[in-house]
Amino acid sequence: MNKPTLQGLLQASSIIKVLDQRTGELRDWKLYSHQRTVLEDLIKHDRTIWLKARQLGISTLMTYYVLMLGIMNENIRVAVVADNFNNSIGLLEKIKDFCKQLGINLLVDNQKRLVLSNGSSFDAITVNSAVGQDNTAGRSKTFHILLLSEAAYYNNSHAVFASLTSSAIPGAIIIVESTATPAKNMFRSLWDNSNYYKRFISMEEHDNYVLDENYITESEFISLQERFGFQSRPHAAFWSNKLQNEFGGEINRLLREYPVLEAHSWSSASGRFIDIDPKILQPIKTVSKTKVFRESQFGGHYIFGVDVSAGVGRDYSSIVVYDLKNKNIAAIYHSNTDKMDAIAQEIKILQNVYKPHATYIEKNGIGGFWLIPECQKLGIPVIDIVTTESSKYSGLLLVKQAIERDGLCCDDQFSSEAASLTYELNGDKEKFNHAGDSLMATSFCLLKADEYKYIINQPPPRPQVPEGHWDMARSLRIGEKQRRRDNR
């Protein structure tokens, strides 16, 4: 495969404009020193894995690199892979924007695929849609290049990687990049065990991650050097400012997102799993025994997640009403005393209020043995979920991301469960303490939410006209039928 030279890449990048991290304004793309080094390594090595700090511009740089490969080689296929739909589409949009700025015509231009005039194509692939099963991402196609972005966040990651690499030609270029997560997943295994070219990019390599060195004293800098291995005082000052003003003193979380040494990337491999306490919301009302935080909306899109306990004063059973459109929890039910028939009645009441697309109930154990049959007696359609250790971790990772990145929150019980969930690695095995039932019920919803991404954009059905009121639409239909009869 033809590859660009570093000089050629630098020349082409000089006519591209990108958003400035500090100002948010478009500016000429002047590559940072660490980005130039990354390009040099990409040219030299076909199989690479990149462990990085946050916001280093690596994803943008790599989409630029694979575009250059597509320009220089006819009819090659590039898979642009990300953990969720928005991220995969976002990467493709970056490629599209580069093409526009470089004056490159596209034969195909849609949300999931771009094709250049020389026949080279770029397909956006989302991998977090078939969790807990053998993921088939990319199997129907053959690719010359795989770009796997934020690979540490892939659900069922080993199956995903096997599927993607089986779709690649022998000798394909494979680029894997991510920040770290506290898990022994595919990304960590590949980093530890593969013969890929490995490169860790420290926060000290970013020219922007600096602050006036006088922000910290000489003794504070010496302490940061001894504890975390800093070599640059301006970078240490930036990191210290982040710790105090943005991360609330959570050293492990800051180290994972802005690591100084490679070992820091895995610093949260034990301890608290969800790094922040979700905001505690007060319900606007109660329906039966369920706290309601958002009223049911006409044309709204909801699904239910249900995790059950034995109902004998120990673990809690939870029903989570998840709003697919707004990505929040509309209502929640907790009980550690209700029996299965009472929980089934509660589900029926909530179904009449929210009219969900589906109700997901864990089939393992008592849920499948008692609750699902009770729901079926009441005529409640349910879908069972069989959890495994893999899908359990995948679901809780989605909950973690929703809380930390998107601000998902609920009541005090939900917040308490998030705060008490801990995680550790024992050799190659992940181990949680008992995950709270509302977290698990939420995870069922998040695991399935991607299946409804097209449905939620459809217009809602027309509401029924109340009895005794004039129905204009019905009158128009009758009039249309009459005109057809008259014209025969």
Model pLDDT for residues 147-190, shown as the tens digit of each residue: 999 888 887 788 888 889 999 999 999 999 998 776 667 888 89
**Percent of the chain scoring above 90 in pLDDT:** 44
Note the CATH number of domain 6-201. 3.40.50.300
Domain boundaries, the chain: 6-201, 217-266, 285-457
pLDDT in tens, 265-315: 765 555 678 878 888 899 999 999 999 999 998 778 999 999 987 655 457
Give yes or no for a contact between 444 and 360, defined as CB atoms under 8 angstroms apart.
yes
Q: What is the pLDDT, as a whole number, of residue 8?
A: 93
Q: Looking at the DSSP assignment, which residues form a beta bridge with residue 378?
A: none
The CATH T-level fold of domain 285-457 is: Nucleotidyltransferase; domain 5 (3.30.420)
Q: What is the pLDDT, as a whole number, of residue 132?
A: 35
Q: What angle do CA 167, 168, 171 make, to 5 degrees?
A: 155
Q: Do domains 6-201 and 285-457 have the same CATH topology?
A: no
Give yes or no for a contact between 447 and 391, defined as CB atoms under 8 angstroms apart.
yes
Give yes or no for a contact between 123 and 137, defined as CB atoms under 8 angstroms apart.
no
Give the DSSP letter string of 368-424.
IIIIHHHHHHTT---EEE---HHHHHHHHHHHHHHHHHH---B-HHHHHHHHH-EEE
Q: What is the pLDDT, as a whole number, of residue 428?
A: 41
Spans in the chain with pLDDT lower than 50: 130-136, 313, 426-428
H and E: helices and strands count for the chain: 16, 20
Q: What is the pLDDT, as a whole number, of residue 472?
A: 72
CA distances from 231 to 198, 247, 251, 300 (A): 22, 22, 18, 54
pTM above 0.75, yes or no: no
Q: What is the pLDDT, as a whole number, of residue 313?
A: 47
Task: List the structure tokens of 129.
Answer: 């849609």
Judging by DSSP bridges, how do beta strands 121-126 and 143-149 pair with one another? unpaired
Tokens 């990319």 found at: 138
pLDDT in tens, 445-479: 998 998 898 888 776 665 666 777 777 777 777 88
Give yes or no for a contact between 330 and 294, defined as CB atoms under 8 angstroms apart.
yes
CA distances from 373 to 305, 338, 376, 384 (A): 16, 16, 5, 11
Q: What is the pLDDT, as a whole number, of residue 19?
A: 76
CA distances from 4 to 102, 121, 482 (A): 15, 18, 70
Q: What is the pLDDT, as a whole number, of residue 390?
A: 62
In degrees to the nearest 10, what's the CA dihedral of 240, 246, 252, 257? -90
Count CA atoms closer than 13 A to 386's CA, side-chain side. 2
Give yes or no for a contact between 355 and 340, defined as CB atoms under 8 angstroms apart.
no
CA distance 224 to 227: 5
Mean pLDDT of the chain: 85
CA distance 295 to 331: 9
Q: Looking at the DSSP assignment, which residues form a beta bridge with residue 116?
A: 106
Find the radius of gyration of the CA atoms of the chain: 26
CA distance 257 to 72: 35
Q: What is the pLDDT, as a whole number, of residue 67?
A: 95
Task: List the structure tokens of 215.
Answer: 């922000």
Q: Which residues of 233-258 are buried (b: 16+ CB within 10 A; e: fewer)?
A: bbbbbbbbebbeeebeebebbbbbbb
Q: What is the pLDDT, as a whole number, of residue 255?
A: 80
